[in-house]
Structure 1
């Protein structure tokens, strides 16, 4: 019965029993990727250029990032959109640059993630984690490019039991629809790092290896799919 139930009443039931935050929502705002993991990037306005670049890099890993100045439509009430992103995110990254601690908005964004008990990762950009976020995972971001930080975040999130399965499913979904050989190779290299692959993923990838020429004709990709399949099925 639970397996066939709609998401909304299940979420309300979970809230009632205290196993889901009151801020959790089944709404799917348009600024998130349809299947991607949803990551809120909490940052200061002075970091908007770097944060936009990080958002673009994360997209390569099937991680949809919300950047307030980038994703809020001019006609939308900005606070309402931020609240929508906070209530539907899967995790939060705090870009800790000097001044972050003094920002009421950044602190509140982090507070929502803590209240919802979501994964939080701090990126040191001249400021060390402090207060409640001091106990969460942190990585050094100084002198790293957005591409390097994105890869570091992917490595951490892919092993996270909350977000890792969602990233895995999104990557498999993109492999099935891959339009170039290079894209197939790039995606399978990411997929084979996941510890959350299951029989449904294997079945979907095998179908792609039969029906999508950009997968079955991509050198080494069908072989990797078969190798993954043997590991999972055994």
Structure 2
């Protein structure tokens, strides 16, 4: 189960709904619990209270800035709610003119250069969550749970890619990585090659020349990475 929950604030128009749904789906694939109001409100439910409940339980708010977003009063109220609770806010600018305004005017938006690539935008959101003090630990905890229960080499590699976005792991977090490699063969035997996520079948014989996922993570965010950083500072 994802341990970090984000509220998607979006314009209910066609473009806004489409962008939010695509982002929601891709974030879910990256183990982030993304909430859309339309999913949270059941028939007969007090929709205003339902939105408040979801806002209160979310660790961050993501503004899906498609055309017309800034002019929607409810979107601005959702932002105001998050500001009042000191919740991290990320504004994704999908359309010209839909840049952060008001109390968010000084914050840098995430520019969606290609709205047709929601997987790229979702990964950028994960990287932002990893950089926020309020969401980083919950994100990493959720990813570690995925790693510990990984059922395939592909899932292990994908999880490792996301963990690498978090930067250096604590000793306790790294011990969970090591334990996962010890107890789960899908983690222990997974390799991380440099040529991309897939390799052609004829290259299987060369897997032995590739680093294990554990060593790959160790070089980037584990104790080995910390030691290398320490040497650079001296």
Q: TM-score range by the shorter chain?
A: 0.7 to 0.9
- How far does residue 196 in structure 1 lie from its aligned partner after superposition? 5.3
CA distance, structure 1, for counterparts of residue 168 and residue 41 of structure 2? 33
- How far does residue 135 in structure 1 lie from its aligned partner after superposition? 2.2
Alignment counterpart, residue 153 of structure 2, candidates 181, 186, 194: 181
Asked whether the equivalents of residues 179 and 214 of structure 1 are also in contact (C-alpha less than 8 Å), the reply is yes
CA distance, structure 2, for counterparts of residue 178 and residue 72 of structure 1? 32
Matched, 1:61 2:61: no
- How far does residue 232 in structure 1 lie from its aligned partner after superposition? 7.0
Alignment counterpart, residue 134 of structure 1, candidates 105, 122, 126: 105
CA distance, structure 1, for counterparts of residue 120 and residue 152 of structure 2? 24
Which residue of structure 2 aligns with residue 148 of structure 1?
120
CA distance, structure 1, for counterparts of residue 122 and residue 223 of structure 2? 30
CA distance, structure 2, for counterparts of residue 203 and residue 76 of structure 1? 44
TM-score where L is the length of structure 1: 0.79
Please give the per-residue CA displacement for 1:133-157, whole angstroms capped at 9, x wherever unaligned: 2123311125332112112212222
Matched, 1:223 2:211: no
- How far does residue 121 in structure 1 lie from its aligned partner after superposition? 0.9
Please give the per-residue CA displacement for 1:98-117, whole angstroms capped at 9, x wherever unaligned: 32222121111000011011
Which residue of structure 2 aligns with residue 101 of structure 1?
70
Matched, 1:203 2:172: no
Please give the per-residue CA displacement for 1:81-136, whole angstroms capped at 9, x wherever unaligned: 11101111111111122322221211110000110111111111221221122123
**Measured at CA, do residues 142 and 75 of structure 1 come closer, stay the same or move farther in structure 2, by a change above 3 Å?**
farther
Which residue of structure 2 aligns with residue 37 of structure 1?
4
- How far does residue 41 in structure 1 lie from its aligned partner after superposition? 0.7
CA distance, structure 1, for counterparts of residue 56 and residue 168 of structure 2? 25
CA distance, structure 2, for counterparts of residue 143 and residue 218 of structure 1? 32
Task: Please list every run of 5 or more consecutive structure 2 residues that lacks an aligned counterpart in the other structure.
Answer: 192-211, 228-234
CA distance, structure 2, for counterparts of residue 233 and residue 125 of structure 1? 37
- Count of residue correspondences: 201
CA distance, structure 2, for counterparts of residue 233 and residue 123 of structure 1? 33
CA RMSD of aligned residues (A): 1.9
SS of the residue corresponding to residue 77 of structure 2 reads helix
CA distance, structure 1, for counterparts of residue 226 and residue 121 of structure 2? 34
Asked whether the equivalents of residues 215 and 221 of structure 1 are also in contact (C-alpha less than 8 Å), the reply is yes
